[in-house]
């Protein structure tokens, strides 16, 4: 339906950020409860910003819990990236607590658990590198997931040359 039409339009014409009656495509999708369109627009560069009437997207989507979840997830994702850039292990732990087990972290074409993204992205010289085992041991429910490239946490750890044998109590069997 609408998702496939929107996807085809984005592919053919690119993103249209024009406003119609004070709302752009993202706002209209929030208002009408089109969760898949909201996700698609966010993945293609739309930001969570107020409409021209200064209404927040969460207000526009107040009757659509799935969209409210998508918006919340995107906000967590933005904070996670900022914490990674700032090498802030405390904020990362706080953000990981807010992600539900089934929630995915999206960044451009990549998705996986937020812990997958952290392992894939952290600087080997920083505070996060020194505490990566703390994060993995504390958030074991992410260990059975794979990312958009098919990698488990164990795959990512091995690719980063981080010894998996140090994590003896973690079950890496994929669900």
Predicted pLDDT at 168: 59
Positions of the chain with pLDDT lower than 50, given as ranges: none
Residues 6+ apart with CB under 8 A from 61: 30, 31, 33, 38, 67, 68, 71
Helix/strand/coil for 128: helix
Closest CA to 142 of 125, 123, 118: 118
Q: Is pTM, for the whole model, over 0.75?
A: no
Helix/strand/coil for 140: helix
Tell me how far apart the alpha carbons of residues 166 and 77 are, in angstroms, rounded to a whole number: 28
Tell me how far apart the alpha carbons of residues 36 and 2 are, in angstroms, rounded to a whole number: 9
Predicted pLDDT at 142: 84
- Determine contact, residues 42/106, Cβ cutoff 8 Å: yes
At which residue do the structure tokens 């044998």 appear?
Answer: 165
Predicted pLDDT at 100: 79
What is the number of helices (H) and of strands (E) in the chain?
10, 2
Strand partners, 146: 152
Predicted pLDDT at 175: 54
């Amino acid at each position: 339906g609408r998702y496939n039409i929107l996807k085809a339009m984005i592919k053919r014409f690119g993103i249209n950020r024009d406003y119609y009656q004070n709302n752009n495509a993202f706002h209209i999708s929030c208002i009408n409860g089109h969760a898949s369109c909201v996700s698609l627009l966010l993945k293609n560069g739309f930001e969570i910003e107020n409409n021209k009437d200064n209404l927040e997207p969460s207000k526009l989507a107040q009757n659509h819990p799935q969209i409210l979840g998508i918006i919340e997830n995107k906000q967590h994702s933005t904070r996670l990236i900022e914490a990674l850039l700032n090498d802030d292990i405390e904020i990362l732990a706080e953000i990981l607590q807010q992600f539900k087990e089934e929630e995915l972290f999206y960044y451009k074409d990549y998705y996986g658990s937020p812990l997958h993204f952290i392992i894939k992205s952290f600087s080997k010289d920083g505070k996060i590198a020194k505490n990566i085992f703390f994060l993995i041991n504390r958030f074991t429910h992410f260990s059975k997931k794979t990312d958009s490239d098919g990698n488990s946490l164990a795959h990512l750890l091995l690719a980063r040359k981080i010894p998996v044998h140090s994590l003896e109590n973690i079950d890496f069997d994929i669900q």
